[in-house]
Amino acid sequence: MSQMQLILAILLIFSFLAQNSLGLSPVIFIPGDGGSQLEAKLNKTNVVHYICEKTTDKYYNIWLNLELLVPFVIDCWVDNVRLEYDNVTRTTTSPPGVDIAVPGWGNPEPVEWLDPSHESAGAYFNTIGDALVKMGYVRNISLRGAPYDFRKAPNENGEFFVKLKTLVEETYTMNNKSAVTLLVHSMGGLMGLHFLRLQTQAWKDQYIRRMISLSTPWGGAMKALKVFAIGDDLGSRMLSESTLRAEQITCPSLAWLLPSPNFWKPSEVLVQTDKFNYTINDLQKLFTDMEVPNAWEMRKDTEKYSRDFSAPGVELHCLYGLNVSTVERLVYKPGTWLDGRPALQPGDGDGTVNLRSLRACEHWRRPPGWFSRSYPVKPLPLPGAEHLKILHDPRVLDYLTTVLAIP
């Protein structure tokens, strides 16, 4: 038998095991910030530009829809996707006349492809999904998806955690009571971590086989602070950072992703100006000086989730990139204070998340001789693995198919 024939034979065995739920752990994808499709339905009385639609008969794809992310039309998109914060109820809502929905619960397709037309720019979990299908996984049976409104943090995503528990139990039952693997990316790792903290240990021991994390910002990221300061152009030369910032700074999830005091010291300067050097203890002053006071309110709403750094209570595989230039500090030129664009002082990370945050999972590893019950934590640093590209990295695919072949 040739090597290729041997590989094919093994894959056929894996396929048989998966379809009969005798070997492979079913997988649920939990996406990160921007990692779920969003749909919108409009019934507005006012718009920001005459080219913007006021009403729609049905829901339409608003994320990711490249046709909406072009000059002028982007103003309509920003006004529809932004959130309005109420500091009395401590919640956010869409603008009047805008209804945002998250399609495809349980289905992996809306998190494999952010653009329903499957344009390459919208590719997300698709490469991993295809690799798992080759192993014998079956979409909507042993391969599921858990999309959510990524603009919001756990305090406004309570329904998601309830639905996710049901999805885990349903997937477990559909696959002959095989414990589930949570495969998470970026902020999805934080959502998965919070979900696991909500469950009893007995429930996790029965229903969760492991969590595999890709690029999770366990301790937040300086990039979130950079977005509050100047926005992010999503890697497009056609889009303005400042235009997108108008939507981005309304998202509580962005405040949740700010650097955590667990991993940034009070002495470290995050934003440097000639008038004041801001540390993690000066965020309220910083947001006041930036004239974005709601950012501080949203930070207060979400800070408890980042301060809690208790272990997930399941086997954890923690994959992350390093040796990629990542913003470590914002430095404003003398005389500009918080006006203009700061220089982005680089440090180590995956291009989005700082290394100290990516490798924070290693704090949950227990030394030899640890007597209390603990669960394995298996970190895998990957030099050069960029935050999003890690989802298509051959090293990650090899690791996943190897780990998931283990019952």
Q: Which residues are marked as active site?
A: 186, 350, 387
Collapse the DSSP code of 136 into the 3-class scheme (helix H, G, I; strand E, B; otherwise coil) and give the result. Answer: coil
Angle between the N-to-C axes of helices 73-81 and 241-248, in degrees from 0 to 180, rounded to the nearest 10: 20
Residues 6 or more apart whose CB falls under 8 angstroms from that of 76 comprise 47, 48, 49, 51, 52, 53, 68
Would residue 349 be called left, alpha or beta, if left means φ above 0 and alpha means ψ between -120 and 50 degrees?
Answer: left
Question: How far is the C-alpha of 381 from the C-alpha of 387, rounded, in Å?
Answer: 12
| DSSP letter, residue 113 | B
Reading the block at residue 37, the tokens are 């499709």
Question: How far is the C-alpha of 122 from the C-alpha of 66, rounded, in Å?
Answer: 9
Of the candidates 215, 216, 232, the residue with the CA atom closest to the CA atom of residue 224: 232
Phi then psi dihedrals of residue 320, to 5 deg:
-155, 160
Q: Is the separation of the CB atoms in 95 and 77 below 8 Å?
A: no
Beta bridge partners of 61: 39
Chain position carrying tokens 């990370």: 349
Question: How far is the C-alpha of 374 from the C-alpha of 200, rounded, in Å?
Answer: 15
